[in-house]
Chains A and B, each alone.
Chain A
Amino acid sequence: MTGKEKVLAVLNKEKIDSIPWLPFAGVHAGKLKGYTAREVSTDAEKLIKSLREVNKLYKPDGQPVMFDLQIEAEILGCDLVWSEDAPPTVASHPLSESTDIPDTIPAATDGRIPLSIEAMKAMKAEFGDTTALYGLITGPFTLSSHLRGTNIFMDMIMNPDYVKDLLSYCVKVAKAVSGYYIEAGMDVIAVVDPLISQISPDHFEEFMAVPFAEVFDFIRSSGAKSSFFVCGNATANIAPMCKTNPDSISVDENVDLAAAKKVTDEHNIVIGGNIPLTSVMLFGTQQDNMKNTVDLIDSVDNTDLLIIAPGCDMPYDIPVENTIGVQQAVHQTEQIREMVKNYEGSEIEFEGELPDYANLEKPFIEVFTLDSITCAACTYMKASAVDIKEHFGDKVDMVEYKYTEPQNIARCKVMEVKQLPSIYINGKLKYSSIIPNRSEFIAEVEKCL
């Protein structure tokens, strides 16, 4: 099955024997190609190159094109503050002092929608057969708050009709933008609404039930699948969210996935989540990421109607090897479970002997991989080393150590290898996770000849 087939099968509520993996690489995609968050948020070419790299290294079954909740707001008059290592942020609210309801509906040619559409079309052409593509729109409640500011919370109690009218307007915007993205080839439309975590289930029923159901109906009738993304502690709202009838729901680490899954299972809705973004993905080691993912998969009653994804938009600086670790743990759960066990079992002693790196006869290239057959990034890393070995022939030595062998795990510990895949030359770390280009790799080896 291709990744796309897996995602669509699960969203069609079919039972399959693997779990789809959906890395939410928004601006983080830029990191893979050395572009800043601002560059991938404003330059189609750089964005597409970065998304291609995400597809190559992270082997996603499904992939978002842009994770930017400011696209609609910017068009509708909110000022944005830009950042090099995070998506832009809304800094002003055009309706903060007025209770007018706008009537402008963003056109496909407005603001950064053309950039988004261009990237969608390019991704569709290249990966449309193999990867389920996600178009993300700003949910009606979060868009309302972008326009009105946090007054919206008080309005819910003091001026409920106004809130309902503003939400209806934002539903029109949501439908228009979803329409553009579906036309550009998106398989799934994710309605992203972090603010939903901040209101009670009663308020959800009163204000959100109808507008969200309308958006999901529209997406369904336009031939795409849908997802309801929320961030924050939305535990109390999982059941009401299910009742708006999206095909899937995605939650962050503030929600207990296993408990929430019992609720979504009752409604026959797919749930996605929720690798912790900060404590694990950003600050943890590759081992932590693999372990966390295996534990997460083990925590749920059953793995039907399940997608594994980061909690929300991935921070820009997440180490690449951490995401690779998660990907391996989703796609090769059994193998990674063993690796984690072997790594944790401190009893494995390294039985071999490390080379005398200071006195080698010729340059020695060592490739450490999770498994160069199943892990895409490892395959590329290994291939680049094989290529270099061919280039230099007998003048260099090259070896691969796969992490699937307990003795190789022990070797990694002794050599303090922290990230896989990595390439060491003469015992020193030269490349990790990001594949070196050929000429720099050759130059590096030549220095050691």
Chain B
Amino acid sequence: MADFEKISELMQKGKADEVKQLCADALEEGVNPKDVLDKALLAAMNIVGEKFKNNEVFVPEVLIAARAMNFGLEVLKPAMVDDDIEEIGKVVIGTVKGDLHDIGKNLVKIMFEGKGLTVIDLGADVSADKFVEAAVNEGANIIACSALLTTTMTQMESVVKAAEDAGIRDKVTIMVGGAPVTEKFCDSIGADIYTADAATASEKALEACSK
């Protein structure tokens, strides 16, 4: 019988090859791939997210766990039948124009993926138009903007505006975050959701998609 606990532990340590092997073994044994995904990989990512939030692990540990998760996903995905890969939601994410801080954005992306969301990463220094264009092309439910500088957080307002201009404002949820951003700022620019950390962001994103 597949040991979800063990896969989770190895994933948290970033042991990618072992995770991959155990996922393959589980499939051999006839375990439902969706169960392996939910109970081992995504559960592990949740734990990593919490630990990061509490300063128990740091950036390298999160990135390496995410890599191990992706190794596991690689074997699980082809085995999943179509109803297993129901699309929960689609997110376009990026760091706003003029801002090249991308560590936080990358972690938010990882946590989103850890919730099973599909994420399109536009990278850093992303213009408002680019966010909206990608959201339209991809039919995204969420636009997620990260900013780390007080001089660039104002770009988020341009994203809200661009979504209005493109006529998609009522179809997308706009999420904002990054060190200088606050709830008050989020309200003042007419964005929808502010969260202070990546783990909470992924919970809120999931909620927004299941509405």
Interface pair A315/B150, CB less than 8 Å apart: yes
Q: Mark B48-74, 1 if CB is under 8 A from A, else 0.
A: 000000010111110110010000000
Total A-B Cβ pairs within 8 A: 53
Q: Give the secondary structure class of B's interface.
A: loop
CB of A160 to closest CB in B, whole Å: 11
Question: In chain B, what residue has the closest Cβ to A152?
Answer: B60
The answer for the CA separation of A341 and B106 in the assembled complex, in Å, is 45
Interface pair A198/B149, CB less than 8 Å apart: no
Q: Mark A69-92, 1 if CB is under 8 A from B, else 0.
A: 000000000000101011001110
Interface pair B125/A153, CB less than 8 Å apart: no
B180 interface residue per 8 A CB criterion: yes
What B residues does A89 contact at CB under 8 A? 100
CB of A198 to closest CB in B, whole Å: 4
What A residues does B102 contact at CB under 8 A? 150
Interface pair A199/B59, CB less than 8 Å apart: yes
A42 interface residue per 8 A CB criterion: no
Q: Mark A262-295, 1 if CB is under 8 A from B, else 0.
A: 0000000000000000100010000000000000
Please classify how large the interface on chain A is, using the bins under 10, 10 to 19, 20 to 34, 35 or more.
20 to 34
The answer for the CA separation of A410 and B14 in the assembled complex, in Å, is 62
What B residues does A203 contact at CB under 8 A? 58, 60
What A residues does B67 contact at CB under 8 A? 154
CB of B162 to closest CB in A, whole Å: 21
Interface pair B57/A85, CB less than 8 Å apart: no
Question: In chain A, what residue has the closest Cβ to B65?
Answer: A157
CB of A431 to closest CB in B, whole Å: 26
CB neighbors of B among A85-112 (8 A): 85-86, 89-91
The answer for the CA separation of A157 and B14 in the assembled complex, in Å, is 9
A90-B100, A150-B103 as given contacts; A278 in contact with B150, CB under 8 Å: yes
B139 interface residue per 8 A CB criterion: no
What A residues does B150 contact at CB under 8 A? 278, 282, 315
The answer for the CA separation of A224 and B38 in the assembled complex, in Å, is 57
Interface pair B151/A315, CB less than 8 Å apart: yes
Question: In chain B, what residue has the closest Cβ to A150?
Answer: B103
A200 interface residue per 8 A CB criterion: yes
CB of A78 to closest CB in B, whole Å: 11
A235 interface residue per 8 A CB criterion: yes
Question: In chain B, what residue has the closest Cβ to A202?
Answer: B58
Question: In chain B, what residue has the closest Cβ to A91?
Answer: B100
CB of B85 to closest CB in A, whole Å: 27
A156 interface residue per 8 A CB criterion: yes
A150-B102, A158-B64, A198-B103 as given contacts; A85 in contact with B58, CB under 8 Å: no
A residues within 8 Å of B by Cβ?
81, 83, 85-86, 89-91, 150, 153-154, 156-158, 198-200, 203, 233, 235-236, 278, 282, 315-317
Q: Can you give 15 contacting A-B residue pairs, CB < 8 Å?
A: A81-B100, A89-B100, A90-B100, A91-B100, A153-B60, A153-B63, A154-B63, A154-B64, A156-B60, A157-B14, A157-B60, A199-B58, A200-B58, A203-B60, A278-B180
Besides A89-B100, A203-B58, A317-B151, 10 new A-B residue pairs in contact (Cβ under 8 A), listed by A number? A83-B151, A86-B151, A150-B106, A153-B59, A158-B64, A198-B58, A198-B103, A200-B60, A236-B55, A278-B150
